[in-house]
Structure 1
Amino acid sequence: MTARSAPTAIVEAVLDRLYAARGVGDRAAETRGLAALAVPDTLSGLEQATGALAEAIARGERILVIGDYDADGATGTALAVRGLRRLGARDVHYLIPDRAREGYGLSAAIVARAATLEPQWILTVDNGINSLEGARAACDRGLRLIITDHHLPGPTLPEAVAIVNPNQPADRFPSKALAGVGVVLYVLIALRRRLAADHVSLADLLDLVALGTIADCVPLDANNRVLVREGLRRMNAGRACAGIEALLLVSGRRPGRIYAQDLGFQIGPRLNAAGRLADMSVGVRCLLTDDRAEALALARELDALNRERREREAQMQAEASAHLAVAVEADTLSAGICLMEPHWHPGVVGILAGRLKDAYKRPAIVFAPADDGSLRGSGRSVPTLNLRDTLAAIGERHAGLIRQFGGHAAAAGLTVAEDDYPRFAAAFADEVERRIGRGPFVDARGDGVLQVEELTLALASAIRAGGPWGNGFPEPLFEGVFGVVEAAVVKEAHLRLRLAMDGRDEPLKAVAFRCKQAPPIGSSIAVRYYLGVDDFGGRETLCLYVAEWSAVSPGP
């Protein structure tokens, strides 16, 4: 082995180890492209859905797409509208529920608004599987309904012409982790086949699929990894739609250097900000326009909304931390955290729940008042607790306590009466403790210690370009003991460090986000970290992104 090839061999060996730990024995299989996608044949409801859509297209009937107000719903809506138009639909429109007035999904209220547009068909995207009342309302108005969704169904399915959802009973589709936008893609693939329209390209719409999949934090199984990789490939080749190109631009990202984490931490939050604070129709318009100037103007509007979201989130998090500090000090923190303030914004409660879950290592649900006088909550859970099943169990033990709920194992939403909030908070804490105990979740996963010769910019770059990493296919998390050379809290929010490592001449740059405590200089600390690339100022340098650190007691 030559000296030149030695670093490459080291990187390849580490990558082989990381992928094997995630169930991938042959990394070459990760490069097969679209040929590796699961075929649509076993996805339940496709035959009925594509038959109905083909009929609607042939008759020139109006199709109204009803999406959701998050990034998955927005990308799925844009994909449905673009795809149906390409496949010959001449009268396609969309509608996004108002979070405060109409709530989530196919509600009776959104059906009433939809009826004013006089569609013959309603096609839901990323919602509808639990919308029994909304489906009945559509039926009563003579509207034909096709549901596409990926959320877990309840015991009774809604009345519809067709339901396409890989998680419905008896479905044999191999990937249960499709996002809402992924389900729409499969509907379009099957519809193209039914219409014998193989000349119509859908591959160049995969940028929308990649963005929605990453932003919705669905598990990145093999099928989803293909969808995300192919979408990223198109973005990096400069072939994204005008809206995504504009969102990348306002985020400071450029084609050729776009990774899954950019979608999750930069583009997704800007798109989600519209649904959280304003109207997600702004986001859908951004994804649908082919006018670059209009797309840039809309992306700047989304960027401004995201800055406002950050300010609201910071204020709410400070208030939540103050609430919980007393319980932490007294060692009385509940197994499941519930918080509510009447002035909190309903569009930000989900983000706050996620922050609290990460900070306190416990499931958290945060509530805010809705326009109808109820409380709407959004929850995030630790890996050991299925949040949707927990809410279902509470509903069974306490009939009528939860008015409505839905979601996944890791995230869920619900509605309760304001007067019932104290009772729900107690029931949630009891149910969580019954299922996983009262203590904090301990994350035992990890990828071990990197040796001096492995801890390189080359490995960090290879990891960044790999994956895509995310839920179900976690970004590599390493550990090690380092000496503290420098430590400073910057902007009262982040900890910046320089760390010494035995056998390494130069200290390592490290940063811990949302950390306000600094270790003493000269001390030793145990660190769990992600190996990353800092490209600030256009120059790439190695950086350890600290997940957590703790002091190491000096030896005898």
Structure 2
Amino acid sequence: MNATVKKTRPDLVRRLLLARGADPEDTLRLDTLFSPLGKQQMLGMREAIQWIAYAAQARWPVLIVGDYDVDGAAATAILRKGLGPLFPLRSLVPNRLTEGYGLSESVADRIGSDIRMVITVDNGIAAHAGIARLKARGITVIVTDHHLPGATRPPADVIVDPNQPGCPFPFKSTCGAGVAWYLLWGLHQTYGEQWVSKEKVLYDTLDLVALATVADLVPLERNNRILVANGLKKIRAGQVNPGLSGLMMHAGVDLEHITEQDFGFRLGPRLNAAGRLADIQTGINLLLSQDAENIAHWSSMLEGINAQRKEIQSQMERQAQEIVDQTGDQGDPVICVGSDAWHSGVVGIVASKLKELYQRPAFVLTATGDVGQTAQGSGRSMPNWHLRDALARVESQHPDLMHKYGGHAMAAGLSFPKNRYEEFRRAINQVAMEQVKGQFAVNLWDDGALSGDELTVEMAKAIEEAGPWGQGFPAPVFVNDFVVESSKTLRGGHWKLVVNLVEPEAVGLAVRVQACRLQACRLQAIHFLDGKEVASSPPPPGFRIRTRYHLQVNRWRGEENLQLHMEQIWPAPQPVAMPSAESVSRSDEQSGLDQQGSFPPAFSPG
């Protein structure tokens, strides 16, 4: 399954990979994955394997305690598939709305008296009280997690977490589903002769690891890129998880050409919606199912829940933006907004939207608890500010402020008494000002400009094939000037454009404007509204724009065409030298220049 046909990559693609620290010759073969039991193994892996082997021999009833997001659902499904033949096995996921995150005391109290072993996935590293309650009942606890640990170790029998102190495993960004998959791999390496389905179980769950890795927004270190690349390859070959296939049908994902973007923007949100508004067990059932009727039922249910999530999210986003705009600039580097009426399952997405819109870290909170006296919410950060560490700093300065907190560099969750909201707002902003000197920088990086020869569907396909691209390994983005040939507003307000590439010819320190049209390259483009547009309507014909964009392959009815996905659009600066009268006349006829040889000063005419 690792046979790879080596292709010669275009120079542009090689340059893009080198700029991201990757080897252009790397084929991301599955058999080059870092081993879970090598010299730099995951700490606790061997002990966890021994405990599981003992439980299998004794036929202990075992419970998996998962999490209510895509990573937790995929990790639960992976271990259910892999460990199911060994002992009586079932799973439990906390209810986001009533129990919150992780193996809490209330979750521990729900675990039946018959259970002899609990294995956590995508949680547990901070579950001190819940684990202590299980240990008091004589239950063996194995924690598999990837979140950052606190100052003290929970009282589990074994912890497998690449981020725990002393773990030599180098790829710290492995997601929860990745850690669970590695646990199965370690079992196969240790007891392979007793495991008939050795190769099949690992390969069969690879697409779930790939989905979770992208959806959980962990950095795409080489190990993660291998997992995602091979998971995508598996799906494109038609060997897809049946439940995932049902979800793909509802999402309109092309199985043969699925990309990592489909994981992040189409499939992931549909699974996440169940954990946000209902019960993620629906998603887990889907990922475990082999029955066509059940798959159709659960995927249709997830589609409906996701539509409901979109409606709730849209309303919350509008209200949150109104609060931010009404309060004005208070000098806070960190946005904090909240409402008793907001849905706790959607606050994280809204925080992400606010962060993108205002280019500042954002916390979005809602009231929870029996009498609504607890503020619970999520935060999203900007690069170079570690949000979980910032909350740890708040805790050290205000030890009794927060009930609990946890998360990553870019995302975190927390809760505290609602009547101490202002105290939290001041505290988190004070920490931000201490840790980040000046304003949060908005760094708009790019991979440079492309020539007309590089703006081809073949180049877009070569970039696509060189992936996966994603968190920590960003998709290539280019910057060029174009002249708008036509533009229109689509349903939802998004912009559809036809543009011509501007490739001015340098003449000393001047620029010949007539070269813009003589070397024109006609291209289709799309821009999805993100709230940061410099105008309310698309640029009119004849307008010259500068844009940051991605190359995309637009596949429709069996045809493949190049499309530019424009992220930002601005009026382009004028050339440094005015053209001659002759060239103005010729360019005016061809490209819509006005009599002064310049374009309108705004996107909207007049």
For Structure 1 versus Structure 2, the TM-score category normalised by the shorter chain is over 0.9
Which residue in 1 is equivalent to 2:144? 148
- Offset of residue 283 of structure 1: 0.5
Matches within 5 A, 1:7-18: 12-18=10-16
- Secondary structure at 1:208 match in 2: helix
Write the deviation string for residues 37-76 of structure 1: whole angstroms up to 9, x where unpaired: 3443311001111111111011000110000000000000
1:103 lines up with 2:119 in the alignment:
no
Deviation at 1:389, TM superposition (A): 0.6
Deviations 1:131-181 (A, max 9, x none): 111111111222210000000000101001100000000110011010000
Name 1:89's counterpart in structure 2. Answer: 86
Q: 1:519 to 1:255 in 2, by over 3 A?
A: closer
Q: Aligned match of 1:113 in 110, 121, 124?
A: 110
Q: List 4+ stretches of structure 1 deviating above 6 A.
A: none
Structure 1 residue 490 displacement after superposition? 2.9
> What's the C-alpha RMSD, in Å, of the aligned pairs?
1.8
The aligned runs of 1:221-370 (5 Å cut-off) are: 221-327=221-327, 330-332=328-330, 334-370=332-368
The 3-state SS of whatever aligns with 2:11 is: helix
Asked whether the 8 Å contact 1:34–1:230 carries over to 2, the reply is: no
Alpha-carbon shift at residue 519 of structure 1 (Å): 4.7
What is the aligned counterpart of 1:186 among 178, 182, 196?
Answer: 182
Report what 1:46 is aligned to: 45
Normalised by the length of structure 1, the TM-score is: 0.94
Say which SS state the counterpart of residue 468 (structure 1) adopts: coil
Q: 1:496 offset after TM fit, Å? A: 2.5
Question: After the TM superposition, which of the residue ranges 474-483 and 499-508 deviates more from structure 2?
Answer: 499-508
The one-letter amino acid of 1:272's match is N
Q: Is the CA contact (8 Å cut-off) linking 2:523 and 2:563 kept in structure 1?
A: no
Cα distance, 1:492 vs. partner?
4.5
> What TM-score do the two structures reach when normalised by structure 2?
0.86
- Segments of structure 2 that go 5 or more residues without pairing to the other structure are 1-6, 503-518, 577-606
Q: Which residue of 2 aligns with 1:75?
A: 74
* Distance of 1:205 and 1:399 partners within structure 2: 42
User: Is 1:165 paired with 2:161?
Assistant: yes
Task: Compare relative contact order (CA 8 Å, sep 6+) and give the higher one, 1 or 2.
Answer: 1
Q: SS at 1:115's partner residue? A: coil
- The amino acid across from 2:447 in the alignment is D
- 3-state SS of 1:525 partner: strand
State percent identity of aligned pairs. Answer: 37
TM-fit CA distance, 1:366? 0.8
1:505: Cα distance to partner?
3.9
Partner residue in 1 for 2:567 = 547
Q: Mark the CA change 1:486 to 1:441 in structure 2 (over 3 Å): closer, same or farther.
A: farther
Residue 525 of structure 1: aligned partner: 545
**Mapped partners of 2:296, 2:465: distance in 1:** 27
Partner SS, residue 452 of structure 2: coil
Kept in 2, the 8 Å contact 1:165–1:183? The answer is yes
Larger-Rg structure: 2
Give the Cα–Cα distance (whole angstroms) in 2 for the partners of residues 133 and 362 of structure 1.
34
One-letter amino acid of the structure 1 residue matched with residue 15 of structure 2? R
1:437, distance to aligned residue in structure 2 (A): 4.1
- Offset of residue 489 of structure 1: 3.5
Partner SS state of residue 510, structure 1: strand
Between the aligned partners of 2:495 and 2:378, the Cα distance in structure 1 is: 29
Equivalent residue for 1:449? Answer: 449
Matched-pair contact (CA < 8 Å) for 2:489–2:538: no
1:198 Cα deviation from its structure 2 partner: 5.5
**What is the rounded CA distance, in whole Å, between the counterparts of 2:544 and 2:35 in structure 1?**
49
Match of 1:34, SS state, is helix
Distance 1:334 1:482, change over 3 A: farther
Q: Does the aligned pair in 1 maintain the 2:324–2:337 contact within 8 Å?
A: no
Kindly provide the amino acid, as one letter, of the partner of residue 18 in structure 2: A
The separation in 2 between residues aligned to 1:433 and 1:81, in whole angstroms, is: 46
Q: Out of 20, 36, 40, which is 1:22 matched to?
A: 20
Determine if contact 2:36/2:185 at 8 Å carries over to the other structure.
no
- Which deviates more, 185-194 or 153-162? 185-194
Q: Distance in 2 between matches of 1:526 and 1:441?
A: 21
SS in 2 for 1:249: helix
1:473-507 Cα shifts (integer Å, max 9, x gaps): 11111111222333334334423222221222424
Cα separation, 2, equivalents of 1:183 and 1:161: 17
1:432-461, Cα deviation, whole Å (9 max, x unpaired) = 222224534312422111111111111112
CA contact (8 A) 1:375 1:418 kept: yes
Count of aligned pairs: 542
Deviations 1:502-545 (A, max 9, x none): 22242432323335633542332221111112224553322221
Residue matched to 1:175 = 171
Unaligned runs of 5+ residues in structure 1 are 1-7
SS at match of 1:142: coil
Amino acid at match of 1:417: P
